[in-house]
Chain A
Amino acid sequence: MADALALDKPRAPRRPAARRSNFELYSWLFMRISGLALVVLVLGHLFIMNILDGGVHRLNFAFVAGRWASPFWQFWDLSMLWLAELHGGNGLRTIIDDYARKDSTRFWLKMLLYVSMAVILVLGTLVIFTFDPNISAS
């Protein structure tokens, strides 16, 4: 140890020049606004699904089909999907930035995150818009 003294310097100066982008500002603001909206959307959703008129026991295909016949509930579920996915995804992005130690780990974790976000958003949106209440049970 004594002959090869290599002090770990994880914080050696390597600060890039400011990028003059407002991305972090807007994502910070988005977290506040979407958080407030999600309190209403998610608690409302849980109340309707679990407590109102017999709760989960009345949930079936017909119930969902009836709800999604109305543009109001389509919009509710769509905004809940997008806000929750972007809110959670942005939170995970921050956590990955904090805790990934290597740039390559950071890159691949973020890629995994972004791909999973894209898949869930596309799939969810597709289901809400192309839902067919008359689907055959084959």
Chain B
Amino acid sequence: MTAVAENPVHDTSQIPAPEGSLTITVKIQRFNPELDDEPHWESYDVPALPTDRVLNLLMNIKNYVDGTLSFRRSCAHGICGSDAMQINGINRLACKVLVKDLLAKKGKQTTITVAPIKGLPTMKDLYVDMEPFFEAYRAVKPYLIAYGNEPTRERTQSAADRERFDDTTKCILCACCTSSCPVYWADGSYFGPAAIVNAHRFIFDSRDEGAEERLDILNDAEGVWRCRTTFNCTDACPRGIQVTKAIQEVKRALLFKRI
């Protein structure tokens, strides 16, 4: 691939163009670690319906133009959190962004840029190494910690107690928030918003008894105090979680020693 011209023209005629489709340019950041020293951009002119999702366009390019295009996707319905990528500079799930929301003004050519999420090592094309992200997630002990005898029945909880941490139960671990955080870009040992959200989910759970352990972990040099409330995480979250608010609630719990 690298032997050919800088911007090879891709033959996209094989992609089926349904009635009502328009041609838009998809500019993708490509990187093949076996051939390239640096990532580079490649453009594909593809037919798209306004109701298509960006994931459809990527699938079409992979199926009809270049099978080596690499990206993660699994459920394709915004639940599994596999296909987080930077679309037009903003972290989004490719399966939740519609083409009609990215169209240029009338008469202008629409270009959609797609790049891998930042702050995690790019392995190939749009596919990044998620291990550092999950390492931070595991470090906050994201599971129920309870002491004493196992209850013989289920652990009950009032509706109000459940409501307390409802927002942070919605996380799908897609890494949109963590990879949009400027502190995480600069300093990879920061836990990152996603790990703090998942700590929040258990810290404020009335059935859990591990709040103190987790707060101790997040009180460390790389914990919540590194957060600079830039709200990138809240903007990026495809589930609409108030991420920055959750981080502030953890700070408050530490400050006033009260959950």
Residues of A within 8 A of B (CB): 1-2, 5, 7-15, 18-25, 27-29, 94, 97-99
Contacts and interface: CB of A to CB of B under 8 A. Distances in A.
B139 A24 contact: no
Interface residues of B, number: 32
Nearest to B182: A98
A109 B119 CA distance: 24
Given A5-B33, A10-B121, A11-B132, A24 B219 contact: yes
Given A20-B216, A28-B225, A10 B188 contact: yes
Given A10-B121, A13-B132, A25-B254, A1 B37 contact: yes
A24 B255 contact: no
Contact of A14 (B189, B216, B221, B255): B189
A2 B135 contact: no
Nearest to B225: A24
A98 B230 CA distance: 15
A8 B225 contact: no
B33 A11 contact: no
A22 B136 CA distance: 20
Contact of B120 (A11, A18, A28): A11
* Dominant secondary structure of chain A at its interface with chain B: loop
B66 interface: no
Nearest to A13: B135
Interface string B111-129: 0000000011101000001
Interface of B: 33-37, 119-121, 123, 129, 131-132, 135-136, 139, 183, 186-189, 216-217, 219-223, 225-226, 251, 254-255
Contacts of B251: 28
B188 A24 contact: no
B220 A19 contact: yes
Nearest to B36: A1
Contacts of B121: 7-11
A29 B257 CA distance: 14
Contact of B219 (A2, A13, A22, A97): A22
A97 B135 contact: no
Nearest to A94: B226
Contact of A18 (B186, B216, B226, B254): B216
Given A8-B121, A9-B129, A15-B135, A24 B35 contact: no
B219 A11 contact: no
A105 to B, nearest CB: 13
